[in-house]
Amino acid sequence: MEIEEIYKELEKVIEPTSGEDIVKLGIVSKIIKENNKFLIFLSLARRTPWSPFEMAMNWTVHAKIVKEIVKVLEEKIADFEIYDDMTLQRYYPIKGV
């Protein structure tokens, strides 16, 4: 699968509060291919309000977006990771401590 095809697949992921796809909204900021692994960068932290209550509300939206991305891509791509483009927090895969 090529990067352009991944963008096309990610158009199937809908941001729950707006009803728009995450590519159109600019939430997918960059996709990089390293060897056979894809690194998907999302613009989530920079879209999060600074008040604690609003942050807590957005965490559930962010989790839903990441889960939907995984659902769309997991059978099409063997190896991929999802990161926040500002904080570089890895959203997927989650490694246990």
Q: What is the pTM of this model?
A: 0.90
DSSP 90: E
Cβ-based neighbour number of residue 7 at 10 Å: 13
Q: Which fold has domain 3-92?
A: GMP Synthetase; Chain A, domain 3 (3.30.300)
The answer to whether residues 48 and 58 touch, using CB atoms and an 8 Å cutoff, is yes
Q: State the burial class of residue 45 (Cβ atoms within 10 Å of its Cβ: 0-12, 13-18, 19+).
A: middle
Please state the domain extents for the chain. Answer: 3-92
- pLDDT tens digits for 48-93? 777 877 777 888 899 999 999 999 999 999 999 999 999 999 999 9
